[in-house]
Amino acid sequence: MSPSPPTQIILSTSRADGLVAVPYGEEHLRAAHALEDAGFQRIPGGAFAAPLTDPAATRQMASVLVHRAHECGATITTSPRPFLGDFGEDLAARLPGAWSARLELYYNPVVQEDLIGPLWDRGNLCQAVLHDAVPGAVVLTNGAGTELLLIERPGHGGGYLLGAFAPEGYDDNWEEPNAPRSIVLPGEPDLAARAVTTTFLPAYSRALHQRRLDTVLSALERIRAEYETLQAIKASGRYSDGIPLADSRMLPEMERTFADYAWLSFRDVLEHAPVLLSRCRPAMTPWPEDAAALDCLRSALADSQETRDEDQELRGALLSVGGWKQARSRFGLAALPAIETWLAEGEAFERQARAAVPGGPVALSAPSPHLLTARPAPPAVRRPSAAHR
pLDDT the model gives residue 336: 95
Strand locations in the chain, DSSP E?
A: 7-14, 18-25, 41-42, 48-50, 75-78, 100-105, 119-120, 136-141, 147-152, 160-165, 183-185
374 contact partners, CB below 8 Å, separation of at least 6: 347, 351
How would you class 306 by CB atoms within 10 Å of its CB: exposed for 0-12, middle for 13-18, buried for 19 or more? exposed
Neighbours of 9 (CB within 10 A): 27
For every one of its 389 residues, what pLDDT tens digit does the chain have, with 9 covering 90 and above? Answer: 555 557 899 999 999 999 999 999 988 999 999 999 999 999 999 999 999 989 999 899 999 999 999 998 899 999 999 999 999 999 999 999 999 999 999 999 889 999 999 999 999 999 999 999 999 999 999 988 999 999 999 989 899 999 999 988 787 777 788 899 999 999 999 999 999 999 999 999 999 999 999 999 999 999 999 999 899 888 777 777 667 776 667 788 889 899 999 999 999 999 999 999 999 999 999 999 999 999 999 999 999 999 999 888 887 665 666 677 888 899 999 999 999 999 999 999 999 999 999 876 554 555 665 554 444 343 333 333 333 33
pLDDT the model gives residue 8: 92
Q: For 13-34, b where at least 16 C-beta lie within 10 A, e where not — what string?
A: bbeebbbbbbbbbebbebbbeb
pLDDT the model gives residue 3: 52
For 383, the 3-state DSSP assignment is: coil
Please give the angle made by the CA atoms of 287, 289 and 294, to the nearest 5 degrees: 95
pLDDT the model gives residue 388: 33
CA-closest candidate to residue 308, choices 346, 269, 340, 257: 269
pLDDT the model gives residue 308: 92
Asked whether 70 and 44 are in contact (CB, 8 A), the reply is no
pLDDT the model gives residue 233: 82
